């Protein structure tokens, strides 16, 4: 009951919510009901248990993901960020090196200034 030719299982809403909304829900529900690839064993046996919760029917691996799909664009970015956390000490080292370089540059700049000043002084002396 509820399935229609035009909006398939979204027909369960009857005449409510309008055609556009009902046809849109078909797309989303098709995605969330699909079997997804398991990040642990690689088999396409992952099923959505509840909002944001997925479990692999093959190896039993349970994990959190997006509300309607196991992986979302923003989720991918967050994953990258958490992965890069292991590089935090390295990043800190880089920052320290940068700071040291900047200090060195500042000193070099000062040296250059002094040189320029002395050269200017020489030129002035030569002019005199």
The contact set with Zn ion (CB under 5 A) reads 38, 40-41, 56, 58-59, 61
- C-alpha pair distances (Å), 26 with each of 32, 54, 122: 10, 20, 83
The answer to whether 91 and 81 are in contact (CB under 8 A) is no
- Of the chain, the end-to-end C-alpha distance in Å amounts to 105
Q: Is 111 helix (H, G, I), strand (E, B) or coil?
A: helix
CB 39 to Zn ion: min, Å: 8
Q: Of the two residues 7 and 38, which places its CB atom closer to Zn ion in the complex?
A: 38
CB 46 to Zn ion: min, Å: 7
Tokens read off for 116: 């320029």
Q: Of the two residues 64 and 81, which places its CB atom closer to Zn ion in the complex?
A: 64
CB 28 to Zn ion: min, Å: 24
Q: Of 7, 54, 2, nearest to 28 (Cα)?
A: 7
Q: Of the two residues 10 and 56, which places its CB atom closer to Zn ion in the complex?
A: 56
Q: Of the two residues 24 and 40, which places its CB atom closer to Zn ion in the complex?
A: 40
CB 33 to Zn ion: min, Å: 18
């Amino acid at each position: 009951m509820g399935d229609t030719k035009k909006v398939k299982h979204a027909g369960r809403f009857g005449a409510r919510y309008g055609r556009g909304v009902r046809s849109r829900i078909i797309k989303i529900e098709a995605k969330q009901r699909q079997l997804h690839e398991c990040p642990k064993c690689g088999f396409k046996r992952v099923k959505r248990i509840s909002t944001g919760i997925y479990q692999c029917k093959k190896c039993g691996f349970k994990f959190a993901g997006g509300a309607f799909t196991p992986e979302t664009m923003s989720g991918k970015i967050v994953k990258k960020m958490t992965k890069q956390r292991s590089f935090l000490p390295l990043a800190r080292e880089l920052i320290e090196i940068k700071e040291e370089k900047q200090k060195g540059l500042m000193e070099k700049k000062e040296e250059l200034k002094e040189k320029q000043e002395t050269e200017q002084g020489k030129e002035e002396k030569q002019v005199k």
